[in-house]
Structure 1
Amino acid sequence: MQAIRKDIQVSAAQLQLQYGGVTDAGIKLANEDAIAMEVPGDAHLLTFKGACFALADGVSTAEAGQQASVTAVQRFCKEYYQTPDSWSVSYSAQQLLATINNELYALSHQFTYEQKGYLTTFTALVLKSQTAYFFHVGDSRLYHWRAGVLSQLSVDHTTTLSGQRQFLARALGMDAKIELQTGSVKIEAGDRFLLCSDGISDFIRPDILQAVVTKASDLAATAQQLKTQALANGADDNVSLILVEVSAVATQSLEDLSEHLNRLPFPPALSVGMKLDGYKVIKELFASSRSHLYLVEDEESLIQFVLKCPSLNYEDDTAYIDRFVREEWIGLRISSEYVVSVIRQTRPRSFLYYLMEYLPGQSLESWFEQQPKPLKPAVAIQLVKQIAGGLTAFHRMGAIHQDLKPGNIMYLSDGRLKIVDFGSVFIAGLAEIYSPLQHEAALGTAAYSDPHYLLGHNSGVQGDIYALATIAYELFSGGHLPYGNAVEECRTASDYDKLRYHNASQFNAVIPTWFDRALQKGVSLDLSQRYHSISQLLTDLQQPNPAFLHEEVKQEHKTNPLLFWQLLSSFWFITLLLVVWLFLLRR
C-alpha cells in the first residue's frame, strides 16, 4: 500500500496545490494499479511545465499488466519534465505517450512464441498556470469538482457485448498507434480533481463520490476513506485514487511566456569573452553552416559546458527550429555512459541554444587516423562494444540515431567512447518514423548510413545496425569500407544493386571467416538477411556462429577440391594397407 500527502506552495504569483493519493491491492494478491505525482519545487519548472499526476490500471488478463502500469506512470511523470519548455503541454504529453505506447507494444510482441501483454489504462492530469490538461485511454476515470458538483471528464473506452459483458476497447500497449482522449478546462481556486481506477468508480456511487469530495478537508485522509469504503462495498479489484485541490491559480497567464519561448531569437556569432545568460565563452569548438559549438563556463558554478547554437542561416526555417529543439529533448531522455549528457537548464534563456557536458578528447575518426593499422582485435572489439552500448540506450528509449559515424563519436583520453550528435535522431512511436523521410538532403553520411535511409525509407533499428557493422568493419580492416569507396557514389537503387561485399580478410589476414560473415550479415543490403538486434550482431562478433563455421568448412571444400580428394585417397590407401596386413597375419 502507498499513501502520499503533500502541500505545495511556491509563491503567491504561482499555482498552489494540495494533493493526496493511495493505491492498494485490495483483496487481490498483487497490485496492478500504479500512481505517480510530481509537483516541482523549482519555480521555473512549475511555471513552464506545471504539476503532473498520473494513474494507471494494468489489465489483469494481460501477463505484464503490473509492469505496464508502473512503467507508464513513472515514465510519464519523469520524462514530461524533460520535454522542452517551448513545447505546449498537449504536444509534450502526446509525443511522450506515443513513445511509451510504442515501447509497451514492442515489449508485448518481443517474443514470437511467449507473448506477454503489456497493457494498461492510463489517465494523466497536468495543471499549469490557469489550465488543467488531461490525457486518457481506457476505463480509469478523471472527475472535476467545482462548487459542490462532480463531473466526469474522461470517457470510458469499453465495448459492451451480449448481456452486460464489457471489454476494454483501448489501452496503452494495445496497438501500435494510440488513440487518446485529450482535453483542457480553465481552473479556479477551490477546484478539485479526482483520478481513480475502476476499483473505486465501480463500487462507490457517483452521488456518494460527490458528497465525499465535497466534504474533503484533508485530501490524504479522504483518499484513505474512499479506499476503505470501496472495499467495504465489495470491491474485488485493486483500488487507487488521487485527489488534487487548486488552492490558488497563477496570477500571470502563460500565453505571453509561451509566445516568448517559441520566438526565442538565435544567438549572434559568439567570440571568446562574450557572455550569454551567465555563461562565458572560453573558445569556439566547431562551426558549420548548420550549427555552432562553444566551450563555455558557468559564472556561478565555474563548471564548463558545451553550448550548441543554431545557425543564423536557418533563422526563418520553422522545421529546422523544431528539429533543433527536439535535439535537446532527445538528449535529456537518454542516460548512458556511452552517450553525451544534455544539461537540464533551470534558469530562463534569452536565446535559442542548449547545453551538453564537456568531453575533452577527439573524435573517433581523428583518433583512428593516428593509429597504426590494423588495430589489435582486443582494442577494436572494445570500441565496438562501447558504441553498441550507446546505440542500445537510444533503442531502449524508442529512438533511432540514423547518422552514426566515427565523426559523431568522441574518443576520450581514458579510452572511453561517447556518441555526441542528436541531429538526425527520430523517435519510434511518432508517425513520421515509419513514413518516407522528408529531408532537404540525404540523411546521414553515405559511407555509414543504411542505403534504405538514403533512398527515402526508414529501416529503424536495422539502419543503426548497418552503421555499427560498417564502423566495426573499418576498425578491423584498417580503414576500409564493406562495399569500397563506390558506395559513396551511389544515388539510385540500381547503383546499390551493383555493389559487392569485400571480404574483410583480404585487408587483415587474422580475420577468420566466421567473423567476416558476421560483418557481412550486419551490412547486408537485404533487410531480411540483416541482423534485427544489436545483441545478435555482438554475439556473432565475439563467438563463432555454428552456421558460419559450417559455411567455412563447406567453403574450404569448395575452394580446395584437390586437397579434399587427396585426403580421401589417403584414407582409402591406408585402409587398403590395413586389410592387406590383416590378411597376411591370418595366413
Structure 2
Amino acid sequence: MNNSTATESEQRGRLQLAAGICSRAGCKPQNEDSAVFHWPADPHLQDYLGAVAAVADGVSSAEAGALASCMATSQFVGDYYSAPDTWSAARAGQRALASINSKLYRSSHDYPREEKGFLCTFSALVFKSRTAHFFHIGDSRIHLLRGGKLECLTRDHSVALGHRQSMLSRALGMDTGLQVDYGRITMERDDRFLLTSDGVHDFVPREVLADILQREELEEGEMAETLVRLAEENGSDDNLTAVVVSVRGLPDATLDEYSHKIARLPFPPPLTPGMILDSFAVEREIFSSQRSQLYLVRDTHTGAALVMKTPSINYEDDIHYIDRFVQEEWIGLRIHSERVVRVFRQKRPRTALYYLMEYIEGCTLETWIERHRFPKPAEAFRIVRQIAEGLQAFHDRETIHQDLKPANIMIDGKGGVKIVDFGSVYVAGSAEIFRPLEHPGALGTASYSDPHYLMGRNTAIQGDIYALATIAYEMFTGELPYGEEINECRSLVDYEQLRYRSAAQFNPVIPIWFDRTLERGCAVDLEKRYHTIAGFIADLGNPNPEYLRDDPSEYKSRNASLFWKILSGLWIVTLLAVIALFSTGE
C-alpha cells in the first residue's frame, strides 16, 4: 500500500485524526503485508463508529499469506462499518474477526492438495469517541507514544525456537477457535499510535521508534516512511509496514450515554397508517406474526418507500430475542447481492428499535407456487438458480440461512428473486466469542429445514442445500418430498424412516436424472446429500450420467426407462437454452 495521509477534521468538538502509511516488500519478491486506515466521510459513521487502522502480516510459509493479510484488513473494515449502532466497538470488532478467521480457515482447507495456508497476524485500532480499542493476534505490534514515553500495548503470540527464530502460536486462520487480545485505552490529545509488522519493530530499537514519532517537523506519512527506511538500512529480511495515527482533537463528550441509550431502545408500539416514527410515515402493515411486524413506510425527507421491521412487544423482556433481532440488521448490512433484500443503515438517530429494508413489489414464492401448479421447466429452473445465487451470497460471508422457505423468498414484478429474512441466520465463528447470549432451540421451519438442524446439529451449507432442494421439489410438483409426515417427526430416527416420494409421481414429465438430483439434494443421510450448491445446480441443469442408469428397484419397465430418456432429452434442450439465455442476458 502506498504512503497516505488522512486529513484531519476541521470541526470542533469532534474526533480529529491524522494518519500515514508506508508498506514495502523490502528484500523479498512479494509484499505479504497489508495495511489500512479508514476514516469515513459520513459524519454519522465518524461519530458513532469512528476510524479504523490495521496491519496484517501474511505468514510466508503458508503460501497464501498475501491473500490472507489483504482479505483480513479489507474485510475487517467492511464488517466493522456494517455493524449496527447498537453494538459496542469491542463486539463489532471481535465479531468481524471471528468471521474472518472462519473464512481463512475454510479457504486453507479448500486447497488440501496444493497445501495453501491462509494465515496472517493481525493488529487493529478502532478510534471511537474518546477511546481507542485494540485487537491483536500474532506478532505485529501496536505502540502508544504519550508524553514522550513509548509503550507497547500488545504482546507477541510466538514461541522462541533459537537464535532470532520463533514460531507463531496464534494467527488468523490457524484454527476454528479464535483467541483475540482486546483492550481499550482512553485517548488524550496529541497521543500518537504506531502499528508495525515484525519487519520494522524487530530491526528498529524502541528508543529510535520513540525519537522518530516525536519529530514534529515530520508528517505522519513521513514518520512511517522513515521507520521503514531505517529498518531496511538495519538489515531487515522481511516485508516492512508502519502505520502512524495522531490524535489532533477529541470530542467534548463521550458516546457512553448514547451507547447506553441505543442499546436499550424501547420497542415501538403497534403502528397504524398515518403514524410517523423518526420521520418515517407508516402507510400500511405488510405482515404481522407473533415475533415481528413489517410495515410499508415512506421517508418524509426523501419520499423513498421502505420496509420497516419492528420487534414484537411479546419479547420486550427477552434478551436473547433482542440480541437476535439486532443481529438481523448486521447480517443484512454485510450481504450485498441483487438476490438478497437490501438493508439500509440508519442516517438519523433512532428513538425505537427497528431496522429498514428495501421495498419489493411482487409476491412471495409461496404465492407463486400456488398460482403455478405445473410451471414451465425453464421458468422454474430460472427461479431456483436465482435462489441459489442468493444463498451463495450468504455462504460467501460465512453465514448459513437455516430457514429458507417459500414465504421468505420474494418474486418481483420482473421475475427477479430476493431472499428477505435473516431471523435464523447462523454466523460461523461467532459462538466462540459471544457465549453469554445463547439462542436456545432451532428457529427453522419443519417442512423445509434440515432434520439434523431441527435436532440440534449445525449442518452448515448442506442444511441450506436441503431447503433449496425441497423448495425446488415443491415448485415442480406442488408437494413436499416426504409428504406431511415430516411434520410429525420428533427424532432423527423418525426422519430416517421417511421415504422419498418420486417427483414423477406428481409431475409425470419430470425425467429420471432430475428426480434423482432432487432426491440427493434433500437426502436425510448427509453422506448422500450434495456438499455444494454449485454441484446441486449443475446436476439440475445438466443430466448427471450416473442418474440416467436404470435402477431395477424403482424402474423395472424398459418402456418406462425409454420414456424417461426421451423426456430427459427434451428437458436438456430446454434447460440448455435457458442457461445460454442467462449467460448472455444476466
Q: What amino acid is the match of 2:462?
A: Q
**Structure 1 stretch 262-271 or stretch 101-110: which is displaced more?**
262-271
TM-score by length of 2: 0.92
After superposition, residues 419-438 of structure 1 pair within 5 angstroms as 419-431=419-431
Match of 2:541 in 1: 542
Bigger Rg, which one: 1
Any idea what the Cα deviations from partners look like across 1:369-392, whole Å, max 9, x if unmatched?
A: 112x31111111111100000000
Give the whole-Å Cα distance in 1 for the aligned partners of 2:125 and 2:560. 75
After superposition, residues 107-118 of structure 1 pair within 5 angstroms as 107-118=107-118
Match of 1:351 in 2: 352
Match of 2:569 in 1: none
1:132 and 2:132 equivalent?
yes
Match of 1:307 in 2: 308
**Structure 1 stretch 407-416 or stretch 220-229: which is displaced more?**
220-229
Match of 1:274 in 2: 275
Aligned 8 A contact 1:279 1:297 in 2: yes
Give the whole-Å Cα distance in 2 for the aligned partners of 1:407 and 1:55. 43
Shift of 1:553: 3.0
1:61 and 2:64 equivalent?
no
Aligned 8 A contact 1:26 1:231 in 2: yes
Give the whole-Å Cα distance in 1 for the aligned partners of 2:418 and 2:552. 39
**Structure 1 stretch 118-127 or stretch 4-13: which is displaced more?**
4-13
After superposition, residues 158-557 of structure 1 pair within 5 angstroms as 158-216=158-216, 217-371=218-372, 373-431=373-431, 442-477=442-477, 479-549=478-548, 552-555=549-552
Shift of 1:560: 4.2
Aligned 8 A contact 1:10 1:41 in 2: no
Q: What amino acid is the match of 2:556?
A: T
Give the whole-Å Cα distance in 1 for the aligned partners of 2:246 and 2:325. 37
**Structure 1 stretch 319-328 or stretch 16-25: which is displaced more?**
16-25
Runs (5+) with no aligned partner, structure 2: 562-586
Match of 2:565 in 1: none
Q: What amino acid is the match of 2:358?
A: E
Q: What amino acid is the match of 1:424?
A: S
SS at match of 1:123: strand
Match of 1:97 in 2: 97
TM-score by length of 1: 0.92
SS at match of 1:526: coil
Match of 1:569 in 2: none
Q: Which runs of 4+ in 1 moved over 6 A?
A: 432-435, 561-564
Aligned 8 A contact 2:26 2:238 in 1: yes
Give the whole-Å Cα distance in 2 for the aligned partners of 1:185 and 1:482. 57
SS at match of 1:36: strand
CA pair 482-18 structure 1, distance change in 2 beyond 3 A: same
Match of 2:119 in 1: 119
Shift of 1:42: 2.4
Give the whole-Å Cα distance in 2 for the aligned partners of 1:145 and 1:511. 71
Aligned 8 A contact 2:224 2:242 in 1: yes
Match of 1:43 in 2: 43
Give the whole-Å Cα distance in 2 for the aligned partners of 1:418 and 1:562. 42
Q: What amino acid is the match of 1:183?
A: G
Any idea what the Cα deviations from partners look like across 1:256-284, whole Å, max 9, x if unmatched?
A: 11110111111111111111111111111
Match of 1:572 in 2: none
Give the whole-Å Cα distance in 2 for the aligned partners of 1:501 and 1:535. 23
Q: What amino acid is the match of 1:302?
A: G
CA pair 299-434 structure 1, distance change in 2 beyond 3 A: closer
Give the whole-Å Cα distance in 2 for the aligned partners of 1:562 and 1:471. 30
Aligned residues with identical type, % of pairs? 50
Give the whole-Å Cα distance in 2 for the aligned partners of 1:465 and 1:438. 25
1:34 and 2:40 equivalent?
no
Shift of 1:10: 5.2
CA pair 505-201 structure 1, distance change in 2 beyond 3 A: same
CA pair 331-109 structure 1, distance change in 2 beyond 3 A: same
Any idea what the Cα deviations from partners look like across 1:25-63, whole Å, max 9, x if unmatched?
A: 122221111111111232221221111111101111111
Match of 1:574 in 2: none
**Structure 1 stretch 331-340 or stretch 162-171: which is displaced more?**
162-171
Shift of 1:69: 0.5
Give the whole-Å Cα distance in 1 for the aligned partners of 2:347 and 2:260. 19
Give the whole-Å Cα distance in 2 for the aligned partners of 1:159 and 1:123. 18
Match of 1:571 in 2: none
Aligned 8 A contact 2:178 2:432 in 1: no
SS at match of 1:8: coil
Aligned-pair Cα RMSD in Å = 2.0
Give the whole-Å Cα distance in 2 for the aligned partners of 1:75 and 1:290. 32
Q: What amino acid is the match of 1:219?
A: E
Give the whole-Å Cα distance in 2 for the aligned partners of 1:409 and 1:434. 30
Give the whole-Å Cα distance in 1 for the aligned partners of 2:401 and 2:109. 22
Q: What amino acid is the match of 2:300?
A: E
Give the whole-Å Cα distance in 2 for the aligned partners of 1:266 and 1:563. 60
Aligned 8 A contact 1:462 1:530 in 2: yes
Give the whole-Å Cα distance in 1 for the aligned partners of 2:542 and 2:376. 17
Give the whole-Å Cα distance in 2 for the aligned partners of 1:367 and 1:563. 31
Runs (5+) with no aligned partner, structure 1: 565-587
The number of aligned residues is 559
Q: What amino acid is the match of 2:123?
A: T
Aligned 8 A contact 1:443 1:453 in 2: no
Any idea what the Cα deviations from partners look like across 1:341-372, whole Å, max 9, x if unmatched?
A: 0001111111111000010111011122112x
Give the whole-Å Cα distance in 2 for the aligned partners of 1:11 and 1:484. 65
Give the whole-Å Cα distance in 2 for the aligned partners of 1:452 and 1:438. 19
Give the whole-Å Cα distance in 1 for the aligned partners of 2:255 and 2:528. 52
Give the whole-Å Cα distance in 2 for the aligned partners of 1:542 and 1:13. 60
Aligned 8 A contact 1:434 1:458 in 2: no
Q: What amino acid is the match of 1:484?
A: G
Shift of 1:135: 0.3
